[in-house]
Structure 1
Amino acid sequence: MNEKIPLFGKTLSQLQELTAGYGLPKFTARQIADWLYKKDIKSIDEMTNLSKKARDLLNQNHTFGLTEYVDVKESSDGTRKYLFPTAHGKFIETAMIPFKDRKTVCVSSQVGCKMGCLFCMTAKQGFQSQLTAGEIVNQIRNLPEREDITNIVYMGMGEPFDNLDEVLNSVEVLTSDWGFAMSPRRITVSSIGIIPAMIRFMEECEAHLAISLHTPFHEERQKLMPVQIAYPIEQVVEQLKEYDFSGQRRVSFEYIVFGGLNDTPDHVKALANMLRGLKCRVNLIRFHPVPGTPLHGTDEETLQRFKDGLNNKGILTTIRASRGLDIDAACGLLSTKALLKKGI
């Protein structure tokens, strides 16, 4: 018996191809998109302006495609981490982060990750599967706070550029007039810097880009992030200098500051030299402890000095506020605990 295919997460062109295959009128695809992304329904039968024939055909071969979260943890600072089940009994995490007048949702793009970054808990799960566009957008659709969301960041579990097709489809659903109609300027996709996928992303998507950098030195970054072997950060930055960031689209660099490792004046100097000529921002991030790593965070005095050093060299630099420290803040911790609880 064939497994039914979810409708949620399909782009308009995919829906048009689907309805054409069923011999349904061309306008049916846009009707379905309207029900999927603009109406608060959860079943095909609730698509009342579709003909009975259309609904019967869809029910025979498809599900609506929504999945509810199975657990949530709330921090004293208001941050919430939601646990969503995926196929084959795995889990992904989604964080809702309130800050002043913003509510930012951090979504996952993969189950686990194959990139092997030393500081990342998700990497310790290894790669398990790709998320579909529907599973990515589902993390937003099924949040209780979905009506208040101001920003979306692809900074949860997984490497978005290792699942680029589905990530691009999900952004299309979020930003198209037939979808959620969000501005792409409210969306940021984070990557460790897979250059061929980054080039395609820059050409096909208008969302902001964030690159995980963490050190300007080749050998040091290679130890932290094996991707440095295939796609050195020097080449990533040089490629980005080919694009115009003078408008509203922006590129930023994520820099986790580790005590005694990447927090020295030499790092400030080398980082400023690397980024010179590129309009960008550097976000300094306090390290959230991860079991089984030899790394630890820097002290606050050094962190402030690092920020001031970069700003003094003309590199716009801020320190990201730490959120959710009392609810397994490091990405991958909550889902790892859920897997261990199941004995997986």
Structure 2
Amino acid sequence: MPKQTLLGLTLAELQEVVKRLGMPGFAAKQIASWLYDKKVNSIDDMTNLSLKHRDLLKDVCEVGADAPVDAMRSVDGTVKYLYRAGEKHFVEAVYIPDEERATLCVSSQVGCKMNCKFCMTGKQGFIANLTANQIINQINSFPERDKLTNIVMMGMGEPLDNLDEVLKALEIMTSSYGYGWSPKRITLSTVGLRKGFQRFIEESECHLAVSLHSPVAMQRRELMPAEKAFSITEMVDLLKNYDFSKQRRLSFEYIVFKGVNDSLLYAKELLKLLRGLDCRVNLIRFHAIPGVDLEGADMETMNKLRDYLTSHGLFTTIRASRGEDIFAACGMLSTAKQEENKQELI
């Protein structure tokens, strides 16, 4: 029987483990400290547990920390790490250092069901949900973990489509028994799924970023099929019921495609759509991916959009492009690795 992984278990789940093994209840907090504070890779290193209890634990459990299997480093300091996620499958975590900030983009699924036109991960199709262990391991096992200031659930996959495991991981990140981070250090990015959208808002205090990319429903549906099931107008109406004016930030991600959604007509529609929401817009340059007939807008166009929106009261920024020399688009490195594995089998 495969052993149970400890990394990625909440305190309540660790309490169930020690109870099942006949260990004292306080051992759960000791194990949590070794996992999330001291970040050990072996049960043998949990030295304030008795030898007997360590042996009991080792019989049925393992830490479950796995180092990345590959890395690509950009000239701008961005690093894309590749992690195993089951047999012959991989996910990516991207480290983005930027002056005083150091952000890690974390994956939540192998592949994705959303099939957004501009996303390489969606071209893989859906393969599996990541466990809380596999999500937390991307943070625990990457070399620059002690430099981290921010986490973004914006890697491969749709976080709301794997919400139970994502919420467990977020609990570990923010709880005193875990990493103890402020929710203000964490952002979840979503295309917006009816199932899970409201639940995330009410069960988590982390920031929320909605992938928008077009304020026009028909066009957004072409870019993002999820629009058919839960429209952006429905999302905005729901969001107006919540207060994002204080501790929590609401933002909308807007990839700017040349000749598609880059004119001031779209800026005006954005203003109409988001009127009444306390939010910001992040404009993003498109990273080209194979087989997709979309191009990124030039910086002059990006600046015009930003200036127009900001001058009309909608705070707007341009996200700096990073890692363009290392398969920058989400899902490209893992796709390349999986194709490499297929060729080895032929």
Residue aligning to 1:144: 143
Deviation larger for 33-42 or 183-192 = 33-42
> Distance in 2 between the 1:252 and 1:74 partners?
28
Residue aligning to 1:101: 100
Offset at residue 12 of structure 1 (A): 0.2
Residue aligning to 2:232: 233
AA at the equivalent of 1:90:
H
AA at the equivalent of 2:106:
V
Residue aligning to 1:329: 328
AA at the equivalent of 2:5:
P
Offset at residue 54 of structure 1 (A): 2.0
TM-score normalised by length of structure 1? 0.98
Residue aligning to 1:35: 34
Query: Is residue 14 of structure 2 the alignment partner of residue 12 of structure 1?
Result: no
Query: Is residue 184 of structure 2 the alignment partner of residue 185 of structure 1?
Result: yes
Aligned length: 343
Residue aligning to 2:247: 248
Offset at residue 307 of structure 1 (A): 1.1
Contact 2:194 2:229 survives alignment (8 Å): no
Offset at residue 67 of structure 1 (A): 0.6
Residue aligning to 1:71: 70
> Distance in 2 between the 1:144 and 1:45 partners?
22
Contact 2:189 2:208 survives alignment (8 Å): yes
3-state SS of 1:311 partner: helix
> Distance in 2 between the 1:143 and 1:52 partners?
29
Residue aligning to 1:221: 220
> Distance in 1 between the 2:300 and 2:37 partners?
48
**Structure 1: where are the runs of 5+ without partners?**
none
> Distance in 2 between the 1:41 and 1:312 partners?
51
Residue aligning to 1:174: 173
> Distance in 1 between the 2:287 and 2:21 partners?
51
Offset at residue 205 of structure 1 (A): 0.7
TM-score normalised by length of structure 2? 0.97
AA at the equivalent of 2:196:
A
Residue aligning to 1:288: 287
> Distance in 2 between the 1:240 and 1:40 partners?
37
Residue aligning to 2:319: 320
Contact 2:160 2:195 survives alignment (8 Å): no
3-state SS of 1:88 partner: coil
Contact 2:39 2:140 survives alignment (8 Å): no
Offset at residue 47 of structure 1 (A): 1.1
Residue aligning to 2:157: 158
AA at the equivalent of 1:134:
N
Q: Deviations over 1:214-273 (max 9, x none)?
A: 001111000000100000011011111110011121110000000111112221111111
Deviation larger for 295-304 or 182-191 = 295-304
Residue aligning to 2:340: 341
Which 4+ stretches in 1 moved above 3 angstroms? none
Q: Deviations over 1:161-200 (max 9, x none)?
A: 0000111110111111111111110000000011331111
Q: Deviations over 1:310-332 (max 9, x none)?
A: 11221100000000001010000
AA at the equivalent of 1:103:
A
AA at the equivalent of 1:23:
G
Offset at residue 81 of structure 1 (A): 0.5
3-state SS of 1:57 partner: helix
Q: Deviations over 1:11-59 (max 9, x none)?
A: 0011112211222211111111011111142111111111233222211
> Distance in 2 between the 1:177 and 1:301 partners?
46
CA RMSD in angstroms comes to 1.0
Deviation larger for 94-103 or 40-49 = 40-49
Residue aligning to 1:45: 44
The percentage of counterpart residues that share the same residue type is 54
